[in-house]
A and B are shown apart, each in its own frame.
Chain A
Amino acid sequence: MSWQGELNKYLASAYKNWITSKRNIFTVFELFFWPLISLLSIGLLTRFLDVEGSMVSFLLVGAIGLTILQVAQIDVAYVLLFDMWSKSIKNTFIAPVRSYHLVFGAALFGIMRGSVVFIILAGVSHYLFGFKFQEGGLIPVLIFLAGVFAMAVVIGITVCISILTFGQKADVAAWSLSGLIMLVSGIYYPVEVLPPLFQAFARLLPLTYFLEYYRSIFIPGQHHLAAGVFLAAFYIVLGLFLLDRAIERARRTGILLRLSE
């Protein structure tokens, strides 16, 4: 198959997610309403508590990070969720596509949507709360975003695995998992404030390292970016492997058929 044909297998998921999202009123809430509510509530709280500038940035990085993580990961999960809700999953799995076509195609659209949300939130937080997201230059911003998007891919894959393993009931994971991950990764605090067991868990999450890296620009501190990069790459590869296994299992148990009925 030509590279254009191969590329289109990836783009198919992005195309489906794009059309579905643009016709869904809920998209407005996903892209604007909830992100702004989250940002404004944290921003206003910092004003009320009279938090000093660098700490405001520390907290807003958490709020922005959580939001773009949620937006991007749900797009990866949508690749199967839309199919499951419309009961058309068998049409996808009868086609000659692999798990990585589906995941990376959907992730591409998730990255686009996540980037749009980041630009909006960074702009609003700069205007209202004086948050200088580009303080360390463009490279740290891009590295931070790459880390959040990589984590989003991992969470999205986990949701897809849950759907293929547990069926329709597992769609709750699509909305809850990112919150849990952010909680442990240190959304509004350094992970050192967590109980020891959770701290250990936080050190297994790449997002922890990307948050620490980006925040070190506003409040100087230690970070281990390389560990974050390694973990992100490891989890994506592991996730794709496990997703393939989940698809194989779903074909064996017949769950793919049940999800289409």
Chain B
Amino acid sequence: MERACVEDMKGAEIGDKRMVPVTQKAVEARGICKSYKSFFGRPATVLSGIDLDVEEGEIFGLLGPNGSGKTTLISILSTLIYPEGGSLFILGMDARRRQGDIRKAINISSAKPNFPWSLTVAENLRHYGMLYGLYGGQLSRAVEEQIAAFELEEFRDMRFENLSTGLKQRLSIAKAMMNHPRLLFLDEPTTGLDPDMSKKTRELIRRIHSEENISVVLSTHYMPEAEILCHRVAFLRKGRIAALDTPRNLKRQLSIGERVAVTYEGEVDISALQRMPGVLGLKAAPGCVEIMIDRRDGGNGGDSLDGIIKLFSRARILNLDIKEPDLEDVFIELAR
């Protein structure tokens, strides 16, 4: 893994000549596994055999249902906890040997952010800035910079315990930016936020990513969020990566077709619909039917749509809606 000597490496001390890979990845994980042992009973496996590469500058999404291992994986990647097996390189540094250097160069914003309750927004940022070794004018500037960047001026003297969920989330991301990390971990950054605040948070993430030119690993179970933000996503299911690719490729690979929803009056031969070439699946109820058709290159979807409409010749179509597949469909497909 150690391929070349790079003199000026962000995150390490100035003049620190250490061997790091030339083609550096933000995350390079191989065979990561983790189980939690209870005092009584068998250990519960949370992650097994996770292989993962995150390129520098990429926004990478970790998706999966509750309990799929997202938070554990993010905690391992951010060096908070250790894996039981496998190898892990963060920003080209071995996570077993150079945790100190890694921690200088990364940061995390947790799901359900928590900070010392009685410290205000500014005091919390100051406290964590101090833990990262900031001092004097540099520390004060960093606090003010983050307060301004995350529009927290109005709340700077408000104690953490009195902040709304949205403000807590903003403070959490602001804290995570105090050391200007090269790799930022965001664990469910919009959980518990209303749609407006979720949208603002997503815009914030996108802005940080482009302005600071950093790599981001974010976990979420909101599919649209991953689709909007992430260059690539990995689906976790029962502690394993069930799929990993760009959102677009995933939808294609999984043969998730378009959904054609038809509301009608009259008679329709449902079994004939099911037998049509290009029809991947069908859900029928009195007066409405939802058909999944394959319209990929080489699929029979185009013909299917014509055929479908023909089969409604003895009925009156009240409404016809064609919907592109989204990550939600991928999620449902993979979670099966």
Contact of A12 among B37, B75, B104, B131 (CB under 8 A): B131
Extra 14 A-B pairs, beta carbons < 8 Å, given A8-B135, A23-B118, A254-B36: A1-B13, A5-B134, A8-B130, A9-B133, A16-B116, A19-B127, A91-B128, A94-B78, A94-B107, A248-B82, A251-B81, A254-B72, A257-B71, A257-B75
Q: Give the contacts of B98-139 with A (CB-CB under 8 A).
A: 100-101, 103-104, 106-108, 110, 112, 114-119, 123, 126-128, 130-136, 139
Q: Which residue of A is nearest B116, CB measured? A: A86
- In the complex, which residue of chain B has the Cβ closest to the Cβ of A92? B131
Given known A4-B136, A5-B134, contact A94–B36 (CB-CB < 8 A): no
Q: Decide yes or no whether A222 CB sits under 8 A from chain B.
A: no
A-B contact count (CB 8 A): 108
Least CB distance from B181 to A in Å reads: 10
* Mask: chain A, 4-22; 1 = CB below 8 Å from B; 0 = not: 1111110110011001100
Q: Is the CB of B135 within 8 A of A15?
A: no
> Chain B interface mostly helix, strand, loop or mixed?
mixed
Shortest B191–chain A CB gap in Å is: 13
Whether B135 lies near A88 (C-beta < 8 A) is no
B123 touching A252, Cβ below 8 Å: no
- Evaluate contact between B139 and A8: CB separation under 8 angstroms: yes
Cβ of B170 under 8 Å from chain A:
no
Q: Is the CB of B128 within 8 A of A95?
A: yes
A interface SS class:
helix
A20 to B131, Cβ gap below 8 A? no
Q: Are A19 and B128 in contact (CB under 8 A)?
A: no
Tell me whether A15 and B80 are in contact (CB under 8 A): no
- Whether A88 contacts B78 in the complex (CB less than 8 A), given A253-B37, A260-B110, comes out as no
Query: Are A260 and B119 within 8 A (Cβ)?
Result: no
Interface status of A83 (Cβ within 8 A of chain B): yes
B108 CB contact (under 8 Å) in A2, A23, A90: A90
Q: When chains A and B are docked, how far (Å) is the Cα of A253 from the Cα of B34?
A: 9
A96 within 8 A of B: yes
Residues of B within 8 A of A88 (CB): 114-116
State whether A16 touches B133 (Cβ < 8 A): no
Q: Are B78 and A16 in contact (CB under 8 A)?
A: no
Cβ contacts under 8 Å, B13 to chain A: 1
Cβ distance A54 to chain B, nearest Cβ, rounded Å: 45
The answer on a CB contact under 8 Å between B80 and A5 is no
